[in-house]
Amino acid sequence: MKYQAIAALAPLALLLSACTTVEPAYKDIGTRIGPCVEGGPDSVAQQFYDLHIEQPSSGLPDAALLAKYRPYLSEKLYQTLLKANAGTDKEPALRQGDIFSSLAAGPTSASVADSSRIPNTDARNIPLRVALTREGDKTTEWQDEILMVREGTCWTVDDVRYLSQTPHLNGGSLIQLLLR
């Protein structure tokens, strides 16, 4: 009798255990070779712009600055920047001006849009608007878009889309410009 009760309850126990399986909000989509910055897509993007404003570059970042940017950059963007830096036939636009924004002088402040407004929390890539400002004799404000991608459990910068009315770089985005 005791064994019959256990045999009758076994399928029920299996059924209940299947109902309590918890799926993660997102699955690991691979590994990350380089170091990583903690935070969601908007937090990492804001930290990247804060670092970029603190340590700007004119044109392609040199090796030392690129090493500081590395934790924020996707593997694809990092490798593309390395190749562009090593190339001897650099496009003139890549030698001067801020390559991470539409304005050649670059921003003095940046405010990245909150990613909590994006309904798909399982997204692997998220475009975020960035409100940029350049303070000086005349204050200039514009918006660009930063594409954040998930590498493993890290959010990284994968591209910058130039959305200003008159971007100093022709090409639409940083990756498009670098791959010419």
Residue among 36, 34, 33, 72 nearest 52 (CA): 72
> Residue 100: which pLDDT band, with cuts at 50, 70 and 90?
very high
pLDDT at 3: 60
pLDDT higher for 163 or 90?
163
Could you tell me which residues come within 8 angstroms of residue 117 by beta carbon, excluding any fewer than 6 positions away? none
Closest CA to 141 of 160, 173, 158, 164: 164
Average pLDDT score over the chain: 81
96-113 average pLDDT score: 91
At 137 the pLDDT is 87
Average pLDDT in the 149-172 region? 86
Higher pLDDT, 83 or 6: 83
Percentage, residues of the chain above pLDDT 70 = 73
Q: Kindly state the percentage of the chain with pLDDT values over 90.
A: 42
pLDDT tens, position by position, 17-35: 555 544 444 444 556 677 8
Q: What is the pLDDT of residues 51-95, one digit of tens each?
A: 999 998 888 998 899 999 999 999 999 999 998 888 766 666 677
> Cβ(121)–Cβ(46) under 8 Å?
no
Whether the pLDDT of residue 116 is over 90: the answer is no
CATH of 38-178, one of 3.40.1560, 3.90.1570, 3.10.450, 3.40.630: 3.10.450
Q: Whole-model pTM?
A: 0.77
Q: Give the distance, in angstroms, between the CA of residue 169 and the centroid of all CA atoms in the same chain.
A: 20
The structure tokens 């903690």 sit at: 38
